[in-house]
Copies of this chain bind each other. A is one copy, B any other.
């Protein structure tokens, strides 16, 4: 199998057109896509630590959810120099599927939706980010699933009581901006996402939206593990996880 075969496979699974505008998805670093592919490293972040591990484990392709850079640069020193030097010296191709992997069928948001067994599921946003549907069970049932599969100790902002069988919204990663909390408060009773900050917490309380922060990391890694299993299953190559 060649690198270009892997890329073709990923781009069928999570088409780049699904990414939201301004996102940096696809090939991040690399020139020769015709080289052979024996081992894939998979990670949430292309951090320096992950890239060093990718080198140690001699991966051919490093596949990450978060892109290498959001904001473009034109000078190369410090951390980004170190990252590029390792990737280039060791001929490691870096490829990212970010919001296209959140959005796509069987992607990170669908993974959360399945975890909670949501019924009548719809996109939370028109662009495909997030899911909202009916959770059949009590708030305690919901918390138990969250603690078992996502995070032992989530932050719970419980601004009001929740009846059994409630509307649940989920969004992998960071979905807790103030405008997001306002938007979701009109769509759901309970909202699970990551990276809760002070002002959003206050706003959720005012709006009566119950918010659970199960961390950016955990809400994305849950689905990434499914992706990893799928890659092992479908491609005849080794896949090793580097930060989960």
Contact = CB atoms under 8 A, between A and B. Distances in A.
A116 interface: no
29 contacts: A24-B75, A28-B75, A29-B76, A29-B77, A29-B81, A30-B76, A30-B81, A31-B81, A31-B82, A45-B202, A47-B205, A48-B206, A49-B205, A49-B206, A66-B199, A68-B74, A71-B72, A72-B73, A72-B74, A73-B73, A76-B84, A79-B207, A81-B88, A88-B88, A174-B198, A195-B197, A195-B198, A198-B215, A198-B217
A27 B74 contact: no
A194 interface: yes
Given A31-B82, A85-B88, A197-B216, A74 B73 contact: yes
Nearest to A30: B77
Chain A binding surface, main DSSP class: mixed
Nearest to A217: B198
A235 interface: no
B31 A78 contact: yes
Contacts of A34: none
Contacts of A79: 206-207
A146 to B, nearest CB: 18
Contacts of A45: 202
Interface of A: 24, 26-31, 45, 47-49, 66-79, 81-82, 84-85, 88-89, 173-174, 194-195, 197-199, 202, 205-207, 215-217
A76 B31 CA distance: 8
Q: List 6 tightest A-B contacts by C-beta distance, closest first.
A: A72-B72, A198-B216, A69-B74, A72-B74, A195-B197, A85-B88
A23 to B, nearest CB: 11
